[in-house]
Structure 1
Amino acid sequence: MTDTSELRAAALESKAWPYEEARKLLKRYPEGKPGGEPMLFETGYGPSGLPHIGTFQEVLRTTMVRKAYEEMTGLPTRLIAFSDDMDGLRKVPDNVPNKEMLTTHLGKPLSRIPDPFGTHDSFAAHNNAMLRDFLDRFGFEYEFASSTDYYASGRFDEKLRDVLRNYDAIMAVMLPTLRAERQATYSPVLPVSPTSGVVLQVPVEVVDAEAGIIRFEDDGQTIEQSVFGGQAKLQWKPDWGMRWAALGVDYEMYGKDLIDSGVLGGKIAQILGGRKPEGLIYELFLDAKGEKISKSKGNGLSIDQWLTYGPDESLAFYIYREPKKAKALHLGLIPRAVDDYW
């Protein structure tokens, strides 16, 4: 038996959680993807704040499942690290400079807001660069993708057209999940104001689905505008489902706080001709106060903070263990985590 066949046999027998996750993909496509297409893994990143270990863990755990699948099948895979950099800035993060400047740009796409650090073309470009440096530093194999690029370049145009064609069906999925006052103004499509540049949360009327034209009110004016070319984006739950359908994502894990959102995203993906990906629902990382780690709060632990006190392997081992169990993530736990590794 060759080394490769021995590895594959061992992988097929393994009960470790990455291999159990990879088996979901074997069931999804028992003969591999049609046409020999690579199995597509995705991780998402919201660049409204600086990347932290919570960001790192999702890429690391997804990579573990990806490698398990490769060992079990010998088939090709891809991993896309997708940045939601067209999202509107909802609040100013606590851990960035020039907060006053950022305040004047609230609501605008992150990719169209000046970089408060003064080193990149936009706030999103700065945080995207940090994410890529972060991932490159640890040798991850991935393809970076930008929401702004996908919307502006037309790569999402056909699915945006499908959203307008199926507008009522998507509304039927989303409206029952909203409070009455939110239902009155909700639209899965968010136009970008042609005057203020803000991502608008306003009711939208589909004028011409094939041409991609919508109508909405903006500062007292009735506007007809295309959804193409970065002139609109989707609300994040419809956006998630649209992306799954547009890219053909096969695997994406997410935290337990997004269980309901994942269900909605799956329904929308199906409406748009896609299929909900497989994935692990993991427990959350918590700070020293037991609160969820947030990029905008800046209460996460940085990679550099961990590596000051422990080796790379201790962090990887801590993240690997028990993904369905909530974990503390603060300086005080590092000594014990290092001891557990050794």
Structure 2
Amino acid sequence: MTEQSLPPLDLSQEFVEAATKSKAWPFEEARKLVKRIEKKGSDKPVLFETGYGPSGLPHIGTFGEVLRTTMVRTAFRLLTEDKIPTRLLCFSDDMDGMRKIPENVPDRAALEPYLQMPLTAVPNPFGGDFDSFAAHNNAMLRRFLDTFGFDYEFASATEYYKAGKFDDVLIPGDREVPEDHGRDAATLGAERQATIAVLPISPTSGRVLYVPMKDVNPKDGTITFADETGEEITVPVTGGKVKLQWKPDFGMRWAALDVDFEMFGKDHMTNAPIYDKICNILGGTAPEHFVYELFLDEKGEKISKSKGNGLTIDEWLTYAAPESLALYNFQKPKTAKKLYFDVIPKAVDEYYTFVQKYEQMPVEQKLQNPAWHIHSGNIPKIDMPVPFAMLLNLVSASNAENKDVLWAFISRYAPGVTASTHPELDALVGYAIRYFDDFVKPAKSFKVPDDVERTALEKLDETLAALPADADGAAIQDAVLDVARSIERYQDPSKKGPDGGPGVSVAWFSALYQLLLGQEKGPRFGSFVALYGIAETREMIRKALAGELTA
């Protein structure tokens, strides 16, 4: 059990009423759960569950499952005016056999003797104080969940099996069950139709065995099978002597723990009816489900813990705060999205935009705002005068290697704003330097200006020179647009300028970014010049004309 506690909610009538109509997906799921609990009529705490397979290091999808479930839990609390107790159980399937060795662990050969061993019996390849591979990976998950402040309980499959918490459903007693008590070859897939849903742990080797059963005795709660030595062995299904194959394990766990809500990825969708059926057969009531789309890596492939593709939690947090990661998980959970480094800047800036707009919104929009769900209704007050995208371009233009260089520009642009008055911005400055060094800088490629571009840059330089040194971003942007309107290449007849003539094509700004910053996209150019400085921008133009940037 963690030491976190549930944050207080605004339970005013206007918030509760707005929650009953909100179209935000957590409220839509929570309303389904309210109906379930009303029908169930139980006074037990409502149990939310998430699952984690520690066969590899936890990735952002794992974190996202806990986060999204927490969002539904918070929505449920508001809908019920926080009168019904709730629990969140993060369950680790750490008794699974290690079917293959992950590609992202040190000394993979050292783990080969432990194939098919329960993950809690596989040595920890990462070193440190953890006594098993599963213990290390479980700790990695818990560390981040604790850092983010989730209220949850952690559960280990190995501990639950050995402690007998599943015994009541593993041994049916007088309950009417199918003759094979969990044997359902049709649910196991072609490659396992010769096995049974109950997987014994070999008393000889300790491996999880996929072997046919010689006998299944539901009344006594025992199974008989041929061990790896060929010896016929009878063991109880209790005390951690066996585990269930993953499909029946889902349903068994729901029945044993009386789970009310669990979400899972789209790859489980076709099996959900099987999970539900097994849960109901074992005396439980299948929980409410929410099926989300899977994250993809930069190549559009499914993220895999064993492959280590995509982003890890620590990698995202190297370049951005966890709230931006939470936003990315909140948005369109039923749409497949690429999860790679290039999505970070947009997520960062969108997060701060949602936070800053929150106070001015009516209640119904507040409950639609991702910030409400990310912060469980307790939205911080954050002033972010410079967006992340702008900081990245400031790093690029100034060649800054430390925060002091950037703060010199920021303090001039926004007097009174310092690292101490704006700690969130100070953190963002550090993130920007790291992100630029690792991802932007290696890809920079400055364009050599052609004759038209040289003329345009010269006119831009003259225009900037005529502006006052303290011109704001809007005035500078207008001046930059005026330069483009006089050059045919950058005119856009589909747009209207202030004098009724053609407007400005996006090709103008694309050219500026490629010529001056070595990239194809950038922030609002006038705002950037206001931050970076007119004199500094003119020096950058001089270098571009002299060929010093391409050199």
Short-chain TM bin: over 0.9
- Aligned with 1:281: secondary structure? strand
2:111 pairs with 1:109: no
* Equivalent residue, structure 2, for 1:130: 140
* Equivalent residue, structure 2, for 1:28: 36
Which deviates the most, 328-337 or 300-309?
300-309
- Structure exhibiting the larger radius of gyration computed from Cα positions: 2
CA contact (8 A) 2:181 2:218 kept: no
CA contact (8 A) 1:54 1:300 kept: no
CA contact (8 A) 2:187 2:274 kept: no
Q: 1:7 to 1:190 in 2, by over 3 A?
A: same
Instruction: Using the TM superposition, give the Cα deviation of residue 230 of structure 1 relative to its aligned residue in structure 2, in angstroms.
Output: 0.9
* Equivalent residue, structure 2, for 1:151: 161
* Whole-Å separation in 2 of the counterparts to 1:41 and 1:310: 28
Which deviates the most, 154-163 or 230-239?
154-163
What is the TM-score when the length of structure 1 is the normalising length?
0.93
- Identity %, equivalent residues: 58
* Whole-Å separation in 1 of the counterparts to 2:179 and 2:98: 25
C-alpha RMSD of the superposition = 1.9
Q: 1:305 to 1:205 in 2, by over 3 A?
A: same
Equivalent of residue 15 in structure 2, options 7, 30, 48: 7
2:54 pairs with 1:47: yes
* Equivalent residue, structure 1, for 2:315: 305
Counterpart amino acid of 2:28?
A: E
* Equivalent residue, structure 1, for 2:250: 240
- Runs (4 or more) in structure 1 with deviation over 4 Å come to none
Runs of 5+ consecutive residues of structure 1 not aligned to the other structure: none
CA contact (8 A) 1:33 1:39 kept: no
Alignment of 1:144-223 (within 5 A): 144-162=154-172, 166=178, 168=180, 170-172=182-184, 174-175=185-186, 178-179=189-190, 182-183=192-193, 185-219=194-228, 220-223=230-233
Q: 1:31 to 1:170 in 2, by over 3 A?
A: closer
Q: 1:195 to 1:98 in 2, by over 3 A?
A: same
CA contact (8 A) 2:19 2:79 kept: yes
- Aligned with 1:40: secondary structure? strand
Instruction: Using the TM superposition, give the Cα deviation of residue 90 of structure 1 relative to its aligned residue in structure 2, in angstroms.
Output: 0.6
* Equivalent residue, structure 2, for 1:322: 332
Counterpart amino acid of 2:38?
A: P
Aligned residues: 337
CA contact (8 A) 1:38 1:77 kept: yes
2:105 pairs with 1:99: no
Instruction: Using the TM superposition, give the Cα deviation of residue 118 of structure 1 relative to its aligned residue in structure 2, in angstroms.
Output: 2.5
Instruction: Using the TM superposition, give the Cα deviation of residue 6 of structure 1 relative to its aligned residue in structure 2, in angstroms.
Output: 2.9
Instruction: Using the TM superposition, give the Cα deviation of residue 311 of structure 1 relative to its aligned residue in structure 2, in angstroms.
Output: 2.7
Q: 1:33 to 1:137 in 2, by over 3 A?
A: farther
Which deviates the most, 63-72 or 312-321?
312-321
Equivalent of residue 96 in structure 2, options 87, 94, 104: 87
Instruction: Using the TM superposition, give the Cα deviation of residue 110 of structure 1 relative to its aligned residue in structure 2, in angstroms.
Output: 0.4
Instruction: Using the TM superposition, give the Cα deviation of residue 170 of structure 1 relative to its aligned residue in structure 2, in angstroms.
Output: 3.2
CA contact (8 A) 1:169 1:271 kept: no
Counterpart amino acid of 2:88?
A: L
* Equivalent residue, structure 2, for 1:68: 75
What is the TM-score when the length of structure 2 is the normalising length?
0.59
Q: 1:223 to 1:147 in 2, by over 3 A?
A: same
Counterpart amino acid of 1:12?
A: T
CA contact (8 A) 1:57 1:319 kept: yes
Instruction: Using the TM superposition, give the Cα deviation of residue 335 of structure 1 relative to its aligned residue in structure 2, in angstroms.
Output: 2.1
CA contact (8 A) 2:214 2:226 kept: no
2:235 pairs with 1:225: yes
Alignment of 1:248-263 (within 5 A): 248-263=258-273
* Equivalent residue, structure 1, for 2:297: 287
Counterpart amino acid of 2:91?
A: F
Deviations 1:204-249 (A, max 9, x none): 1445323322110123221111221111000000000000000000
Counterpart amino acid of 2:180?
A: D
Counterpart amino acid of 2:182?
A: I
Instruction: Using the TM superposition, give the Cα deviation of residue 318 of structure 1 relative to its aligned residue in structure 2, in angstroms.
Output: 1.2
Higher relative contact order (Cα pairs below 8 Å, separated by 6+ residues): 1
Counterpart amino acid of 1:266?
A: D
Instruction: Using the TM superposition, give the Cα deviation of residue 3 of structure 1 relative to its aligned residue in structure 2, in angstroms.
Output: 4.9
* Equivalent residue, structure 1, for 2:27: 19
Q: 1:207 to 1:284 in 2, by over 3 A?
A: closer
Which deviates the most, 312-321 or 55-64?
312-321
Counterpart amino acid of 2:21?
A: E
2:44 pairs with 1:37: yes
Equivalent of residue 332 in structure 1, options 330, 342, 347: 342
- Aligned with 1:104: secondary structure? helix
- Aligned with 1:324: secondary structure? coil
* Whole-Å separation in 2 of the counterparts to 1:307 and 1:46: 22
Which deviates the most, 93-102 or 187-196?
93-102
* Whole-Å separation in 1 of the counterparts to 2:231 and 2:337: 50
* Whole-Å separation in 1 of the counterparts to 2:103 and 2:326: 28
